[in-house]
Structure 1
Amino acid sequence: MRGLSLYPHSPDDVIERIGQRPHAVPKSADVVIIGGGIVGAASAYYLAARGLSVVLVEKDRIASHQSGRNWGFVRTQYRDPAELPLAVKALSLWPNLESTLGFPVGWRRSGCIFVAKDQEELAAFDGWLEAADGVVPDARMMTGSDVADLMPVFRAHAPGALYTPSDGQAEPSLATMAFAWAAEARGAQILEDCGATAIETANGRIEGVTTEHGFIQARVVVCAAGAASHRFLRGVGLMLPQQVVRNTVSLTAPMQPLSQACFCGFGVGLRQRGDGSCILAAESTSDIDVTLDLMRASRFFLPSFVTHRKAFAFSVGRPLLDDLHDRVSLSPEERIIEPRRQRLQVNQRRAGETARLLQTLFGGLDQVAVVKSWAGAIDVLPDALPVIDGATAVPGLIVATGFSGHGFGLGPAVGQAVADLATGAAPDVDLSPFRLDRFARGDYRRPHAPL
């Protein structure tokens, strides 16, 4: 078994800068992208590949926020049916990304399995498979004995599972940085430690982006700013009902083979890497930090919070004090940048409980040694579907945000869609379910699965 590699698991301590950064902010570009996550980096690559001049601005570092902190699943399985065509396209791109980009992304076709704890959950999986209607051809239901055959060391009693062999996994930081490196090789400029403060308009259309280090004129701006997107959009008169939940993830020491497939079930989310180490998190369980910002757009989220209240734990503490301090001491422009580095508290209790739960689910584990844990800020929208829209009320503005904790695997396809929207090409995936104005129109529904 190979030695444990910490590098692909950012978050803060192992992210490296991407080459030499330009010293001066360019005066203009065809496209300015706000946000250095996988959606921003993939958009930069595909736009630069089409010959456009591109500048990406990131207040921190590439992959330093949620794109470097997620589980690393690349799945079509159990997605909202509206999202499936985009997920299928993304899955067709992942296997060839390393040769396309020229940099490692950690792709591995490992499959994905969601194990049901009871008949009710099994029926939900079966209902999804019927609704998917062959869009994912190899997705199939498994019996309890099938689960035992696929994962011999899994010892919990399960009535069955949903399994998709063609799904896979990748390393979040590596993949995001690979897109950024490849974008640079195509001529894009990546500006780290360069926070955008406002999207600027003139005569009702996009004029450019003001950053803390200067103004960049552009006819197209892509808002891929994750949890900060609602603030940029509010500045141009657009409403995005966005909230943030905190998710704790752990990296274990290498262990015996547990599950080749990315695994969810019985309260555990698990991705076992090639070196035997595991990415481990509590399944469908997140923390909500109580701040004054929590009241914003609360009416959009209240039904889901009530329905799935067991999936959330409200926390009152340091985030509320930080929020109060920032509101008093910082200008609106400063608040859109700060905190530049995420100050996210790991839920150590949940990390420990999840490690112990893993030990009960799989046989032969004397202990589960957690090497490190980190937290990520997941930006969520009321229907848990993203916004991918180039037909906003502000001509020249493209919004690609709100992926609600499952955007990493979609990243390559979203980058291509953004490039289509920016160049006037017709995307080959229907983006109408992802329009920004669905919330203003009230044309959205409850999430397919808990946020």
Structure 2
Amino acid sequence: MPGPYVVRVHGDENLPEKVDVVVIGGGIIGTSTALELAERGHRVALCEKGGIGQEQSSRNWGWVRISRRDPREVPLMAEALRIWSGLDQRLGRDTGYKRAGILFTCPDEKSYDEHERWGRNLHGYQLESRMLSGKELQDLLPGGNMKLKGALYTPADGRAEPQKAAPAVAEAAREKGAAILTECAVRGVETAAGKVSGVVTERGRIACDSVVLAGGAWSNLFCGRYDIDLPQLKVMNTVMRTQPLEGGPESAIWSKDFAIRKRQDGGYTIASGHENIVDIVPKSFRYAFRFLPALKMEWRSLSFRLGGRFFDEMRMATRWNMDEASPFEYNRVLDPRPSLDMSSRAFDNLKSAFPVFNQAQIAQRWAGYIDVTPDAVPVISAVDQIPGFYIATGFSGHGFGIGPAAGRLMADLVTGRSPVVDPADFRFSRFSDGSKVQPISGF
């Protein structure tokens, strides 16, 4: 079954001749960057090879969370929570955002202690987050059968509708003067005097001074054309949604067996709490050593498979001329087939934990590709190799909630404004300057 229905954004017909910044990619990161730049008075063109928000930005769980993030992301996510709280008013549109809390369940003493230690990362942020005992958790989740030690509960966390958010941000950016160009793949970047001078799209050239690549899972391929080595692989996650259901939990819940959040229409988004699929592709071997620390930590949650994706990527061009169609034009939307086994297993586990879901009717299943870096932390950075070229990608499954703040930080870097948070942890050069690049364990 195809991916979820996304609110349609009709692209502009006319291609601008010159702008200050071209943003490549119409997901939540790209649209948020375009909005920030347009609001500051900069001329912006956002170029999307397919439709706005059609890939992972509409296929994620819809969580807006600071809880259980890598500590390096916490300052930026704190800014994101502030932005989300007023985003609908700022956009003049509905994103479905609601502050409803998220629960990370703890089945035993060890996990309870780990979650409690993680909570120290929020000290000083004045954000409500606390540990609940098993009894408190039962009181918060009536009708549940989960036998747990407790949970990390962060009422400051929330949820929004992925199928609405990026389109809403894009439309607001257009109102501020940005050109929104759909079905307009960027084939490459042009330079003059050693720095960015424009881009060539399938519809023609746009002169510009800066380019922001917010291409999600496609970013590695785009960078490779310029011998920029962006270590990035894809992980597939499967999601399902139900028809509206009365009597289910209001807060989003994570457990190893399932993850859920209530949707704006009264249904629920459901996924496995830990299972993902990794397609083995040619670049899996190229980046195996770099991803080894992450694999050692996460191997229990990953199912590796060798199939058609290997040959699809093996046949994909890595070099192309500006006057010929690029790989981005031959595959407008990444729409992988969901795993029926994984989603059904998660649904069965949910029904055991909350019997009310025995009445739930499945409305749809879909899957999406998460763009992952070796340390599971994004790149939000200038690229020294090409002055005027910036990357905002590799959000490793954490991009939806943090997206508005990532766009703000990216706009700060492009315009030379004092950054909203210290961008050092997100610098691209960490992959080449001898830094120890790996996920932080035990957070």
Aligned to 1:74: 64
TM-score where L is the length of structure 1: 0.92
Query: What is the CA distance between 1:330 and its match in structure 2?
Result: 8.4
- Within a 5 Å distance, the mapping from 1:281-292 to structure 2 comes to 281-292=271-282
Aligned to 2:196: 206
Query: What is the CA distance between 1:16 and its match in structure 2?
Result: 4.3
> 1:161 and 1:225 mapped to 2: Cα distance?
35
Query: What is the CA distance between 1:358 and its match in structure 2?
Result: 0.5
Cα distance change of structure 1 residues 328 and 102 upon mapping to structure 2, 3 Å threshold: closer
Aligned to 1:403: 395
Instruction: Check if 1:361 corresponds to 2:353.
Output: yes
Query: Secondary structure of 2:45's partner?
Result: strand
Which of 86, 111, 123 in structure 1 is aligned with 2:113? 123
Query: What is the CA distance between 1:71 and its match in structure 2?
Result: 0.5
Q: For structure 1, which segment, 270-279 or 60-69, has the greater mean C-alpha deviation from structure 2 after superposition?
A: 270-279
Query: What is the CA distance between 1:367 and its match in structure 2?
Result: 4.3
> 1:328 and 1:418 mapped to 2: Cα distance?
27
> 1:391 and 1:198 mapped to 2: Cα distance?
15
- AA aligned to 2:346 is T
Query: Secondary structure of 2:190's partner?
Result: strand
Aligned to 1:227: 217
Instruction: Check if 1:64 corresponds to 2:54.
Output: yes
Query: Secondary structure of 2:112's partner?
Result: helix
**Unpaired segments of 5 or more residues in structure 1?**
1-9
Query: Secondary structure of 1:23's partner?
Result: coil
Q: Deviations over 1:288-331 (max 9, x none)?
A: 11222322322111232233211111122222232344459988
- AA aligned to 1:150 is L
Q: For structure 1, which segment, 76-85 or 226-235, has the greater mean C-alpha deviation from structure 2 after superposition?
A: 226-235
Aligned to 2:416: 424
Cα distance change of structure 1 residues 218 and 100 upon mapping to structure 2, 3 Å threshold: same
Which of 102, 105, 108 in structure 1 is aligned with 2:98? 108
> 1:23 and 1:89 mapped to 2: Cα distance?
35
Cα distance change of structure 1 residues 367 and 320 upon mapping to structure 2, 3 Å threshold: farther
TM-score where L is the length of structure 2: 0.94
**Unpaired segments of 5 or more residues in structure 2?**
none
- AA aligned to 1:52 is H
Cα distance change of structure 1 residues 219 and 11 upon mapping to structure 2, 3 Å threshold: farther
Identity %, equivalent residues: 37
> 2:286 and 2:366 mapped to 1: Cα distance?
26
> 2:106 and 2:373 mapped to 1: Cα distance?
26
- AA aligned to 1:290 is I
Contact (CA 8 Å) 1:11, 1:69: kept in 2 or not? Answer: no
- Within a 5 Å distance, the mapping from 1:426-441 to structure 2 comes to 426-441=418-433
Query: What is the CA distance between 1:13 and its match in structure 2?
Result: 5.6
> 1:17 and 1:70 mapped to 2: Cα distance?
18
Query: What is the CA distance between 1:268 and its match in structure 2?
Result: 1.0
Query: Secondary structure of 2:391's partner?
Result: strand
Aligned to 1:155: 145
Which of 255, 262, 268 in structure 1 is aligned with 2:245? 255
> 2:85 and 2:36 mapped to 1: Cα distance?
17
Instruction: Check if 1:246 corresponds to 2:236.
Output: yes
> 2:3 and 2:361 mapped to 1: Cα distance?
21
- AA aligned to 1:238 is I
Q: For structure 1, which segment, 289-298 or 100-109, has the greater mean C-alpha deviation from structure 2 after superposition?
A: 289-298
Which of 131, 137, 147 in structure 2 is aligned with 1:141? 131
> 2:35 and 2:247 mapped to 1: Cα distance?
36
Contact (CA 8 Å) 2:190, 2:199: kept in 1 or not? Answer: yes
- AA aligned to 1:205 is K
